[in-house]
Amino acid sequence: MAAEMKAPRVPLPFQLKALVQSVPPLLRSGALSMTPKQVLPFVNQILRLKFSAAALIKLGAMRYPDRLALVDDEGELTYTQLLEHSQSLARAMMDRGMNAKSSFGVIARNGRGIILPMAIKAFIGAEIMLMNIGSGPSQIQGVVKQNDAKFLFVDDEFLDRLPEDLTGVQIVITSVTKPDTRSKVPADFLFMDDLIKEGRSSSSEFEKKPEQGRIIIMSSGTTGIPKGVLRNEPKTPATLGAITDRIPWRKNMVIHQSASMFHAWGWANVIIALVTGATLVTMRVFDAQKAVDQCEKYGVNGMISAAFFLRQIKDVLDDQPSRKIGPFRFIVSSGNAIPGWLVSALTHRFGPVICNFYGSTEAGLCSIASGPDLATRPDSAGRPAIGAKVRILGEDGKELPAGEVGLIHTAQELSFIGYLSETDKFTTVDGLFQIGDLGRIDQDGYLYICGRSDDMVIKGGENIFPREVEEILGPVPGIADVFCHGSNENDEIFADLYLYVVRENSKQGAGLNEKMLQEYVRDNLAEHSVPDRVFFVNSLPRNAIGKVVPREVKAMHERLNLDAQQS
């Protein structure tokens, strides 16, 4: 039965079965690798701090004290140094009033500016809000007020986004990227580096077993206050085992992560990296050339990324054939759909190591396509993961036969426990969360994503999924980026299909035109899939994880139409 505002649930027997199934992949991953003397401290830390960043950093320092833990724009930190930084920062914040009842926000890009606040959250027991770096002043104001946050960690590049009235909120600047930041900010602003130094001489003591506050991940809201997705710290390693069952994490890997850490997927991979004793290599702003350089320098053998970033890496390597990176155990894409042609191109270069993770901020882990899965089914989202219940339901709430397209419903151990605001609604059917995507499951149990439920349009009397047009055009020579969507602005029932294309800076790119692309779609799909209009643009408005932002596309479309009318 459908129900609103009832948290997704997985029956206890199903959870216990998943926990048992997760043990073999956990053992293979090395997440539980330790000496007999380390077993008791390991268990003690997990009982105290659960599977939090704090617990895993402390365990990493115990198991691999001199191993490099983090490489970011500010340098390198070993596990021992990462532990010292996080505990010193936590003590300094306790000296300033942060406690287990405190709530604090973080607006930071990848690196220690977000990882250290993740850690102090559990050492102190406070509640953390991981906020989208695209948040505007009114959104920040709303989120801080809604959750009564008393502290806000923020990279200096986002200081101009802060609302003028943040009375009672202590600002802590995480990363300093501008030389004049210290001289321009108000005197009461704090700097994370200074706090770490202060905390080394602090006498504040951590509670033996602090009550853990919630993890609130702010979804990518477009207008108004973003939805605050409520989560708890993981209680068991079942989800870790489910991920390592399909993605071959191993002890002491070197992982390049361009997936944003303020999203659930990015946060999860920080946790996995810490528990397996990995070296995490990242950067604040993605640069494909720098990523290739980092892969060579540090011997990266695993990658956590998104299709938008992976294509740029592929282009750099295509232009510089002498550059060699890898070999990789895995390259995982998530966040925005990875087209089949890009999977095939990357598999050709690196072998069957390209994986696809599918889930959502609310639902958590849904399905994973392993490297061998994608090598044979490049357009698949894989099979439901261990511990994830996945069903394709029709509008009547009944399960559909294999192959039929319907709404994806799912639940898993780390599904969210609700939204921060009671005004934000969601739907469950028999305990399964309606994820908002359309998909189908084939006879072999593989899931295929057809697009967002509100992306499907009717054109020529046929149901059209704009993603299919993007899939066909993505590998066309001369196309650097592409996005397709339907619009009912001219007809309430039948949509127009609009295509936006970014040309490559090449002869082939310069030769592209509207008629050519329309004919290509007609030849490779069907007449009703042909775009009504093709717009050539300098870039597409993508967010930090590579997704195109619909409201910005709409604004861009209006400008293009206005320019066309004026000319």
Residues 353-398 pLDDT 10s: 999 999 888 888 899 999 999 999 998 999 999 989 999 999 888 9
- Residue 341 CA to residue 28 CA, distance in Å, equals 31
DSSP-derived secondary structure for 58-115: HHHHHH-TTSEEEEETTEEEEHHHHHHHHHHHHHHHHHTT--TT-EEEEE--SSHHHH
Structure tokens belonging to residue 407? 């709404």
More confidently predicted of 433 and 488: 433
243 burial via Cβ count (<10 Å: 0-12, 13-18, 19+):
buried
pLDDT given for residue 156 in this prediction: 96
pLDDT given for residue 99 in this prediction: 95
In the chain, the domains with their CATH numbers are 1-26+237-452 (3.40.50.12780), 33-233 (3.40.50.12780), 457-566 (3.30.300.30)
Q: C-alpha angle 283/55/195, rounded to 5°?
A: 60
pLDDT given for residue 472 in this prediction: 87
Strands 279-281, 68-72: pairing kind: parallel
- Residue 490 CA to residue 474 CA, distance in Å, equals 27
pLDDT in tens, 500-516: 999 999 999 999 999 99
pLDDT given for residue 115 in this prediction: 97
Q: C-alpha angle 111/355/480, rounded to 5°?
A: 75
What percent of the chain has a predicted confidence (pLDDT) above 70? Answer: 92
**CA torsion, points 292, 296, 302, 308, in degrees to nearest 10?**
0
pLDDT given for residue 566 in this prediction: 58
Q: Which residue has the tokens 């004290």?
A: 65
The region of weakest confidence among 31-40, 80-89, 254-263, 511-520 is 31-40
Q: Note if the bond before 179 is cis, omega within 30 degrees.
A: no
Give the C-alpha distances (Å, rounded to integers) separating 333 from 162, 330, 359, 403.
32, 10, 12, 24
Helix runs in 96-167, H state only: 112-124, 137-146
pLDDT score of 462 more than 70: no
Name, of 26-40, 275-289, 470-484, the range with top average pLDDT.
275-289
pLDDT given for residue 154 in this prediction: 97
Q: In what order do the strands lie in the sheet with 254-257?
A: 75-78, 68-72, 279-281, 254-257, 302-305, 330-333, 354-360, 364-369, 383-384
Bridge partners of residue 283, in order along the sequence: none
Determine which helix (DSSP H) or strand (DSSP E) holds 482, and give its type and residue range: strand 479-487
Instruction: Give the number of other Cβ atoms within 10 Å of residue 231's Cβ.
Output: 20
Mean pLDDT over all residues of the chain?
A: 88
pLDDT in tens, 300-351: 999 999 888 999 999 999 999 999 999 999 999 987 678 888 999 999 999 9
Bridge partners of residue 384, in order along the sequence: 367
The region of weakest confidence among 85-99, 425-439, 447-461 is 447-461
pLDDT given for residue 222 in this prediction: 45
pLDDT score of 184 more than 60: yes
Helix runs in 185-287, H state only: 192-199, 238-246, 264-275
> What's the whole-number mean pLDDT along residues 445-467?
74
Structure tokens belonging to residue 429? 């059917």
pLDDT score of 220 more than 80: no
Of the candidates 342, 320, 237, 325, the one whose C-alpha atom is nearest the C-alpha of residue 281 is 325
Distance from first CA to last CA of the chain, Å, rounded?
55
> What's the whole-number mean pLDDT along residues 508-531?
89
- Residue 249 CA to residue 30 CA, distance in Å, equals 8
More confidently predicted of 199 and 161: 199
pLDDT score of 489 more than 80: no
pLDDT given for residue 132 in this prediction: 84
Amino acid at 418: G
